[in-house]
Chains A and B, each alone.
Chain A
C-alpha cells in the first residue's frame, strides 16, 4: 500500500447513493427507526403504570422449604428475603450438580476411549441414554423413584445407624459447631474453618514451590505428600488446641421425620441427580472429543518414556485436552445454572419457584421476570469469570 490513508481520490466522483458510508448510514437509520417503533409498541402495550419494586419489601406470608444455614419463617420476613433464600437454594443445587457432573463426565469420557470394548460400550450406552432424554423426565423419574420406590420412614433403611434412606430423603452425619472442651461459643467453629482455609493456601504454596524445585533440580521433592502432611498436621493440631469446635452429628429417626445430621430431601436429590446425569453425559462427549483431538504422538510419547496408564492420563493427556475442554464445559455449567429452574417441576424451592410464588401472590410479573433474568445472568457471569480464570491458566503462552 503505497497510497496514503483516507478515501481514494475518485471517491468524490461516486454518486452519493452508491457511497458506502451513505448506504450504511441510510440502512442504519431505517433499522433504528423500525427497532424504535417495535420497542415503543412493546413498551406501550405492557401495563407499566404500576411498575416498581416496592412490593418486594412487603411481608412474604409464605414458607420456603429446604433451608440450610438460613432459617426464615416468612411471617415477618420480606418477599425479597424469601427470594434470596431461593437463590441460595438454587446455588447449592448448581454447585453440587456442577461438581458431580464434572467428575462423572470425565470418568465416562475417558471410559468411552478405553481399550476395553465392554467398558467403552457401557460408557456409550450411558451417554446415548441420558443425552437423548429430556432433563425434566429424568428429574421427575428420580423423584418418582424416591416417592414410590423407597420405603416409608417407618421401615427406614438404616446403614450402620449412620445413614438412613427412606421416601423422606437420605440422612447422613454432618459436622455441627459445638462448644468443645473449653466451652467456646459456636462461632469458633467458623474460626477453625478460617484456620483450615489459611492452612490450605499455605500447603498449596509449599506444593508449588517444591514442584518448581523438582523441575529445576530433578531431585524428587514429594510435593503432594509434603503439602498433604502439612495440612493434616495443622488441621489436627488446631482442632485439638481449640478443644474440638466441631463435632460430627449422626442423624436420628424420630417418629415420621429425621432429626439432626444432614438430610438430603428427595426434591434436592432428584434435581441434582437429574442435572448430574444429563450434564455428565454432555461433558463426557466434550472430554472424549478433547482427548481425540490430541495428536496420537502424545500417547505414544508418554508410553515411550514409560509412564503408567494413569500417569499418562493425568500428566500428559488431560492437561493438554483441558485447553479444548474448558470452553465447552463452561457452556455446560451455564446450562446447569439455567436448567436448575426445573426445580419448579419437583417443587424444590429454588429462585424460580419462589419468584413464581411471589408473582402468584402479588402479581407484578414483569418485575419478577426482571429479577429472575438478572439473577441468572449474575450467576452465569460469576461462573464465566471463574472458568475464564481456569482457562487462562491452562492456555499455552507461546513466547
Chain B
C-alpha cells in the first residue's frame, strides 16, 4: 500500500481507501487477489496446490468419462422411454402443450414480479443447448427439439410482453398481477387437464413426465394440508392441537417408502382409486406434515405483539389469521418450504422402488435392462442425476430470488 498517494492535491475529491484500492489497474488488483486468496502463507499455498491437484484429477476424470469412456447411446436410444415411457405417442402434443404452458407461466411470472438476469439467460441457453444436443443424436425427428425451442420462445415472448408493462401501482398493474396470480393458482389443474384429457389417462403417466406431475401435486397438496395442520397444532383447543400433533408426528415417524408401502397394500381398501392417485395422496400427506412443522416454526417466530395488535384493532380471530398472521408466517417460512419442495422433487424417485410405477429413474432401470445396454448403468444414472440436479438447482435459485424480492430475513 506504499504506492498509494497519501496526500491528495487540494481541490480534488478525496476517495475513501477502498475506492482508491479499487481504482488501481486490473493487473495489480488481480495479482493481489491471487496472493490473498490462493497464496497467503506457506500452509495456504500447500492447501492450494493440493486443491489444484484434486481439481485437476477430478476434471480429468470427468472429461475422460464423459467424452471417452461413456456410451451415451443408452440415453439417446431410449430418449422417449426416459421422457414419457408408456404415454401414448399420438398424444405427445399434449406434453409439448403442457411444456409450453409451463414455460409461458415462468415467463409471465418473471415479467411481472422479477426480471431475467444474465445468469438466467445463460441457464436457459445451457438447458436448451443440452436438450437440442440430446435430440440431435440418433434417429429422433427434428420436431422434438423444435417444440422445445418453441416453448422457450413462448417463455421469452410472454416475458417480453409483461416486463414492458408499467410497474407503478395502478389499475393496469393490479389487473396484471391478478391475471398472472390467478393463472399461477390454476396452473396445476390446467396442466393436468392438458395432459390427461383425450385418450391419455393418469395410468399412462410415465418417465420424467411422472416426476413432473407428482412433485407439483405433492407440493401444492402438501401446502394445502400444511396450513390448517400448523394452525391446528398451534391452537389453544386441546383436542385439536393434540390430534394435529399426533398426525404430524406419526407421518414424520415413518420414511416415505413406508407410506408408499401403505399406498400399495393398505390404502386400496380405504380410498380406492388407481395406484398413481394413491401415490399422489401419499406424497401430499407426507409433504404436508413436514411443511406444517416449518409453518408452525414461523407462527412461533412471530412476535406476540402481532397477535395482540390484531386483537386490539378489533379483528376477529379468523380475520387476524388471514390478514395479519398467515401472510407474515408464510413469508418467513419460504426457505424451509422450498427446502421441502426440493426434497419432495428428489423423493419422486422413490415411487419406483416399491410401486409398479416407473418414473425417470425407473425407466433408466428399464433402459439398462436391455441386453445391449447392460454395461451402461453408470451413464444412465449419471444422466438421471444431472436432470434432477438441474431442476432442483433451478428451484433453489428461484427461491433465493423470491426471498430477495419479498425481503425475507430483513427487518
Inside 8 A of A144's CB, which chain B residues have their CB?
Answer: 377-378, 381
Residue of B at shortest CB range from A145? B378
Q: Are B389 and A133 in contact (CB under 8 A)?
A: yes
Which of B75-83, B151-159, B264-272 participates in binding chain A? B264-272
Once A137-B349, A149-B378, A356-B354 are accepted as A-B contacts, the answer to whether A376 and B393 lie under 8 Å apart by CB is: no
Q: A117 near B: Cβ within 8 Å?
A: yes
Q: B254 near A: Cβ within 8 Å?
A: yes
Q: A107 near B: Cβ within 8 Å?
A: no
- Tell me the smallest distance from the CB of B236 to a CB of chain A, in Å: 8
Once A132-B392, A369-B258 are accepted as A-B contacts, the answer to whether A122 and B55 lie under 8 Å apart by CB is: yes
Which residues of B in the span 30-47 have a Cβ within 8 Å of any Cβ on A? 36-38, 40, 43-44, 47
Q: Which of B54, B265, B342 has the most CB of A within 10 A?
A: B265
- Expressed in whole angstroms, the Cα–Cα distance for A47 and B54 within the complex equals 59
Q: Are A369 and B266 in contact (CB under 8 A)?
A: yes
Residue of A at shortest CB range from B346? A134
Inside 8 A of B52's CB, which chain A residues have their CB?
Answer: 118
- Tell me the smallest distance from the CB of A151 to a CB of chain B, in Å: 14
Q: Are A31 and B240 in contact (CB under 8 A)?
A: yes
Binding site for B on A (CB under 8 A): 24, 27-28, 31-32, 35, 41-42, 45-47, 114-119, 122, 128-129, 131-138, 140-141, 144-145, 147-149, 309, 338-339, 341-342, 344-345, 352, 356, 359, 365-366, 368-369, 372-373, 376-377, 380
Pick from A134, A339, A356, A369: contact of B361, CB under 8 Å: A134
Inside 8 A of A24's CB, which chain B residues have their CB?
Answer: 236-237
Inside 8 A of A45's CB, which chain B residues have their CB?
Answer: 269-270
Inside 8 A of B270's CB, which chain A residues have their CB?
Answer: 41-42, 45-46
26 contacts between A and B (CB under 8 A): A27-B240, A28-B238, A31-B237, A35-B243, A46-B270, A47-B269, A116-B40, A118-B51, A131-B392, A132-B346, A132-B393, A132-B396, A134-B361, A134-B388, A136-B346, A137-B349, A137-B388, A141-B378, A144-B377, A342-B257, A356-B261, A365-B262, A372-B254, A372-B258, A377-B253, A380-B253
Q: Are A373 and B254 in contact (CB under 8 A)?
A: yes
Q: B166 near A: Cβ within 8 Å?
A: no
Q: Interface digits, B234-261 against A, CB 8 Å rule (1 contact, 0 not)?
A: 0011111001000000100111111001
Inside 8 A of A31's CB, which chain B residues have their CB?
Answer: 237, 239-240
Inside 8 A of A141's CB, which chain B residues have their CB?
Answer: 378, 381-382, 385
Q: Are B257 and A341 in contact (CB under 8 A)?
A: yes
Inside 8 A of A149's CB, which chain B residues have their CB?
Answer: 378
- Tell me the smallest distance from the CB of B391 to a CB of chain A, in Å: 9
- Which secondary structure dominates chain A's binding surface? helix
Inside 8 A of B243's CB, which chain A residues have their CB?
Answer: 35
Residue of B at shortest CB range from A344? B353
Inside 8 A of A116's CB, which chain B residues have their CB?
Answer: 37-38, 40, 44, 47-48, 51
Inside 8 A of B377's CB, which chain A residues have their CB?
Answer: 144, 147-148
Once A149-B378, A369-B262 are accepted as A-B contacts, the answer to whether A122 and B253 lie under 8 Å apart by CB is: no
- Expressed in whole angstroms, the Cα–Cα distance for A344 and B260 within the complex equals 13
Q: B347 near A: Cβ within 8 Å?
A: yes
Which residues of B in the span 376-411 have a Cβ within 8 Å of any Cβ on A? 377-378, 381-382, 384-385, 388-389, 392-393, 396
- Expressed in whole angstroms, the Cα–Cα distance for A363 and B251 within the complex equals 23
Contacts A133-B388, A344-B354, A373-B254 known; 19 new A-B pairs at CB < 8 A = A28-B238, A31-B239, A42-B270, A114-B47, A116-B38, A122-B54, A128-B393, A131-B392, A133-B389, A134-B361, A137-B361, A137-B388, A138-B385, A141-B381, A148-B378, A341-B257, A342-B257, A372-B258, A373-B258
Q: Are A352 and B255 in contact (CB under 8 A)?
A: yes
Inside 8 A of A27's CB, which chain B residues have their CB?
Answer: 237, 240
Q: B375 near A: Cβ within 8 Å?
A: yes
- Tell me the smallest distance from the CB of A285 to a CB of chain B, in Å: 10
Once A24-B237, A116-B44, A373-B253 are accepted as A-B contacts, the answer to whether A134 and B258 lie under 8 Å apart by CB is: no
Q: B190 near A: Cβ within 8 Å?
A: no
- Tell me the smallest distance from the CB of A114 to a CB of chain B, in Å: 8
Q: B132 near A: Cβ within 8 Å?
A: no
Q: B194 near A: Cβ within 8 Å?
A: no
- Tell me the smallest distance from the CB of A119 to a CB of chain B, in Å: 5
Once A115-B44, A365-B261, A372-B258 are accepted as A-B contacts, the answer to whether A136 and B38 lie under 8 Å apart by CB is: no
- Expressed in whole angstroms, the Cα–Cα distance for A138 and B382 within the complex equals 9
Q: B321 near A: Cβ within 8 Å?
A: no
Q: B95 near A: Cβ within 8 Å?
A: no
Inside 8 A of B382's CB, which chain A residues have their CB?
Answer: 141
Q: Which of B38, B54, B254 has the most CB of A within 10 A?
A: B254
Q: Are A369 and B261 in contact (CB under 8 A)?
A: yes
Once A116-B51, A128-B393, A145-B378 are accepted as A-B contacts, the answer to whether A136 and B353 lie under 8 Å apart by CB is: yes
Q: Are A118 and B48 in contact (CB under 8 A)?
A: yes
Q: B200 near A: Cβ within 8 Å?
A: no
Q: B350 near A: Cβ within 8 Å?
A: yes
- Tell me the smallest distance from the CB of A375 to a CB of chain B, in Å: 9
Inside 8 A of B385's CB, which chain A residues have their CB?
Answer: 133-134, 137-138, 141
Inside 8 A of B266's CB, which chain A residues have their CB?
Answer: 46, 365-366, 369
Q: Are B350 and A338 in contact (CB under 8 A)?
A: no
Q: Are A345 and B353 in contact (CB under 8 A)?
A: yes
- Expressed in whole angstroms, the Cα–Cα distance for A129 and B382 within the complex equals 12
Inside 8 A of A122's CB, which chain B residues have their CB?
Answer: 51, 54-55
Once A28-B237, A47-B269, A369-B266 are accepted as A-B contacts, the answer to whether A135 and B354 lie under 8 Å apart by CB is: no
Residue of B at shortest CB range from A117? B37
- Tell me the smallest distance from the CB of B292 to a CB of chain A, in Å: 15
Inside 8 A of B38's CB, which chain A residues have their CB?
Answer: 116-118
Q: Are B389 and A129 in contact (CB under 8 A)?
A: yes
Residue of A at shortest CB range from B249? A377
- Expressed in whole angstroms, the Cα–Cα distance for A368 and B238 within the complex equals 31
Which residues of B in the span 336-352 have a Cβ within 8 Å of any Cβ on A? 342, 346-347, 349-350, 352
Once A31-B240, A365-B266 are accepted as A-B contacts, the answer to whether A136 and B392 lie under 8 Å apart by CB is: no
- Expressed in whole angstroms, the Cα–Cα distance for A180 and B361 within the complex equals 52
- Expressed in whole angstroms, the Cα–Cα distance for A344 and B347 within the complex equals 14
Q: Interface digits, B175-198 against A, CB 8 Å rule (1 contact, 0 not)?
A: 000000000000000000000000
Q: Which of B266, B352, B392 has the most CB of A within 10 A?
A: B266
- Expressed in whole angstroms, the Cα–Cα distance for A115 and B39 within the complex equals 10
Q: Are B269 and A46 in contact (CB under 8 A)?
A: yes
Which residues of B in the span 11-43 have a Cβ within 8 Å of any Cβ on A? 36-38, 40, 43
Inside 8 A of B396's CB, which chain A residues have their CB?
Answer: 132
Inside 8 A of B378's CB, which chain A residues have their CB?
Answer: 141, 144-145, 148-149
